[in-house]
Structure 1
Amino acid sequence: MAEANIEVQVCHALPDSSFLRSLKVPAGATIEQALALSGLLQDIPGIDLAVNMVGIYGKKKPLDTILREHDRVEVYRPLQADPKEARRRRAGGKPAKG
């Protein structure tokens, strides 16, 4: 009996482009295996899985997470600015409400 395959998507967004690929992986495949099979790491060589966080539908997950049918594996870029600091800068020029 042949091993069942599941369909997943792998995506990564860049400032000026994006990578989105649907693929079939063996049931029981991990995030790391799906990334390797997708070709993402070859198409975008700057990705370092030791640095870039990964997740499924916006929730961070470890590379050894087992995938389920229709999961969307996402590779996140490092933050360019600290969100708290950016918020302070935006609020700095506005008078306090009261």
Structure 2
Amino acid sequence: MRVELVWAEAPRRVRECTLELPDGASVARALAASGWDVAEALAAGALAASVWGRRVAMETALRDGDRLELTRPLRVDPKVARRERFQRQGARAPGLFARRR
């Protein structure tokens, strides 16, 4: 089976590779086959594994055509950032998507 592995190492830096794995291979086996040194980051919680954007455990079996993603945690909760931005600009100021004349 063929699995695509994607890792956003840093902002604007993305590593991608396509792996040929035996049927029923796990997430852990795919990461080992990639040769990328991410075991420590996964164990420390600095990275999370997901398939098509949904978080998965390391024992999860992959299927043909899956996209395995290694993601970093968000620095700021989007809801909090929006709330703070609204407080800074005030209720009467034009919003984020205001028309410019």
Q: Normalization by structure 1: what TM-score?
A: 0.80
Query: Structure 1 46/69 Cα, relative in aligned 2: closer, same or farther at 3 Å?
Result: closer
Counterpart Cα distance in 2 of 1:10 and 1:58: 12
- 1:36 aligns with 32
- 1:83 pairs with 2:78: yes
Counterpart Cα distance in 1 of 2:58 and 2:50: 8
Identity of aligned residues (%): 35
Counterpart Cα distance in 2 of 1:76 and 1:47: 14
Higher mean displacement: 84-93 or 20-29: 84-93
Larger Rg: 2
CA shift for structure 1 position 91 = 1.4
Q: How many residues align?
A: 89
Query: Structure 1 54/46 Cα, relative in aligned 2: closer, same or farther at 3 Å?
Result: closer
- 1:71 pairs with 2:66: yes
Amino acid at match of 2:17: R
CA shift for structure 1 position 46 = 8.8
- 1:3 aligns with none
CA RMSD of aligned residues (A): 2.0
Is the 1:19–1:40 Cα contact (8 Å) retained in structure 2?
A: no
Q: Normalization by structure 2: what TM-score?
A: 0.77
SS in 2 for 1:75: strand
- 2:41 aligns with 48
Counterpart Cα distance in 2 of 1:72 and 1:47: 21
| 2:2 paired residue among 7, 10, 14 | 7
Is the 1:30–1:64 Cα contact (8 Å) retained in structure 2?
A: yes
Is the 1:55–1:74 Cα contact (8 Å) retained in structure 2?
A: yes
